[in-house]
């Protein structure tokens, strides 16, 4: 007897990329616009403490905070961590220290990067100053980084109305995360079947329903579906709709028909496009078969087989 090893799970790169657009309130707008103008603003609490970076509500009392003050571009490191291998997106591409810096005039610390030759050049209490980015747009990255700077600590603040010409009212925070997607055993087997132009479902050992595409579990019984069953290739349209709106980046002419199709032997319907028949002649019970995409990896659409329509009773449980 030969035992077939389960196929090695498929893997593919998956990139999640999005530009997160966010609006700013009055305090954050003033702070980030200030950075563009090389001005660092904090906000004073009712108790008199100056928060840098500023927030709109007091973290201790939740009182609304609006009293802006300007603080210095010099400050003191309150804690640090040496980063020997910078990661993508971080402020510097050469080894640097992460630092929390209490700017002169502030009572709280700002997180950023410190450009220093090595960990021996960094210590808590180190005096530093802001190195401004050459091009500034109203973002935390307008501070390129901090750099060591011998100076005397001060606590001077000056009142600031927070007004600038052409204030920044929103930011776009681009994010990109790279993944390697693996669909697991059940979907790997399904996809490998498709590559051979076969549609393979999995049967629930408890309720005997055949799931296609299989995801490895029966959602009714909560048990693994391990018994593989080839279904189709022919099937029955159980329900459908006529699509009149063209989707972005889709080269299918509207109107077209999108349908639920119960492949012969399957315990539920999957969805697919119906073609090879005028859209207004598609009907429940229509018998269809897959037309494979050019590279043969998946059914591009389904077309009528020419058989008589299926009896309602044969598919009513699959609607």
- Residues interacting with another protein, by CB under 8 A? 6, 8-9, 11, 14, 16, 20, 22, 24, 28, 32, 51-53, 55, 59-60, 78-84, 87-91, 98, 100, 102, 108-113, 119, 124, 139-141, 171, 173, 175, 177-187, 215-224
Q: How far is CA 17 from CA 14, 20, 140, 174, 178, in A?
A: 10, 9, 20, 8, 8
Closer to another protein by Cβ: residue 179 or 312? 179
- Shortest distance, position 208 Cβ to another protein, whole Å: 15
Q: How far is CA 119 from CA 83, 109, 128, 145, in A?
A: 9, 20, 15, 16
- The two structure tokens encoding residue 261: 């199709």
H helix runs in the chain, sequence order: 26-36, 184-195, 312-315
Nearest partner of 196 among 295, 111, 99, 97, judged by Cα: 295
Question: What is the Cα–Cα distance from 57 to 111, expressed in whole angstroms?
Answer: 19
- Shortest distance, position 56 Cβ to another protein, whole Å: 11
Q: With contact defined as beta carbons under 8 Å apart, do 319 and 262 qualify?
A: no
Closer to another protein by Cβ: residue 55 or 318? 55
Distance from first CA to last CA of the chain, Å, rounded?
A: 41
Q: Read off φ and ψ for residue 38, nearest 5 degrees.
A: 60, 35
Closer to another protein by Cβ: residue 33 or 240? 33
Q: Which residues pair with 271 in a beta bridge?
A: 260
- Shortest distance, position 186 Cβ to another protein, whole Å: 7
Closer to another protein by Cβ: residue 27 or 257? 27
- Shortest distance, position 27 Cβ to another protein, whole Å: 10
Q: Name residues whose C-beta falls within 8 Å of residue 309's C-beta, 6 or more positions apart in sequence.
A: 283, 285, 286, 287
- Shortest distance, position 59 Cβ to another protein, whole Å: 4
- Shortest distance, position 51 Cβ to another protein, whole Å: 7
Angle at 109 between CA 107 and CA 112, to 5 degrees: 155
Closer to another protein by Cβ: residue 81 or 241? 81
Closer to another protein by Cβ: residue 79 or 293? 79
- Shortest distance, position 85 Cβ to another protein, whole Å: 9
Closer to another protein by Cβ: residue 143 or 237? 143
Q: How far is CA 235 from CA 188, 197, 263, 307, in A?
A: 23, 15, 4, 11
User: What single-letter DSSP state applies at residue 233?
Assistant: S
- Shortest distance, position 316 Cβ to another protein, whole Å: 18
Q: Read off φ and ψ for residue 297, nearest 5 degrees.
A: -90, -20
Closer to another protein by Cβ: residue 137 or 275? 137
């Amino acid at each position: 007897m030969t035992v077939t090893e389960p196929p090695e799970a498929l893997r593919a790169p998956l990139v999640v990329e999005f530009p997160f657009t966010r609006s700013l309130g009055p305090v954050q707008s003033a702070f980030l616009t200030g950075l563009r103008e090389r001005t660092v603003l904090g906000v004073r609490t009712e108790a008199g403490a100056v928060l840098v970076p500023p927030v709109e509500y007091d973290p201790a009392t939740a009182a609304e905070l609006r009293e802006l003050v300007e603080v210095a571009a010099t400050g003191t490191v309150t804690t640090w961590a040496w980063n020997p291998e910078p990661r993508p997106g971080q402020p510097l591409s050469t080894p640097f220290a992460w630092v929390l810096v209490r700017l002169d005039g502030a009572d709280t610390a700002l997180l950023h990067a410190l450009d220093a030759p090595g960990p021996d050049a960094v210590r808590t209490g180190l005096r530093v100053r802001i190195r401004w980015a050459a091009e500034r747009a109203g973002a935390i990255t307008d501070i390129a980084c901090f750099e060591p700077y011998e100076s005397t600590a001060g606590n001077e603040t000056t009142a600031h109305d927070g007004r600038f010409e052409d204030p920044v009212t929103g930011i776009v925070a681009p994010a990109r995360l790279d993944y390697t997607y693996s669909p697991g055993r059940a979907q790997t087997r399904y996809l490998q079947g498709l590559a051979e132009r076969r549609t393979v479902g999995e049967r629930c050992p408890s309720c005997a329903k055949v799931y296609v595409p299989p995801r490895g579990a029966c959602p009714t019984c909560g048990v693994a579906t391990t018994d593989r069953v080839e279904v189709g290739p022919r099937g029955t349209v159980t329900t459908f709709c006529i699509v009149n709106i063209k989707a972005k980046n889709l080269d299918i002419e509207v109107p077209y028909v999108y349908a639920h199709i119960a492949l012969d032997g399957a315990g539920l319907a999957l969805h697919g496009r119906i073609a090879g028949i005028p859209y207004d002649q598609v009907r429940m019970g229509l018998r269809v078969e897959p037309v494979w995409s050019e590279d043969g990896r998946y059914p591009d659409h389904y077309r009528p087989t020419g058989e008589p329509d299926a009896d309602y009773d044969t598919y009513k449980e699959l609607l």
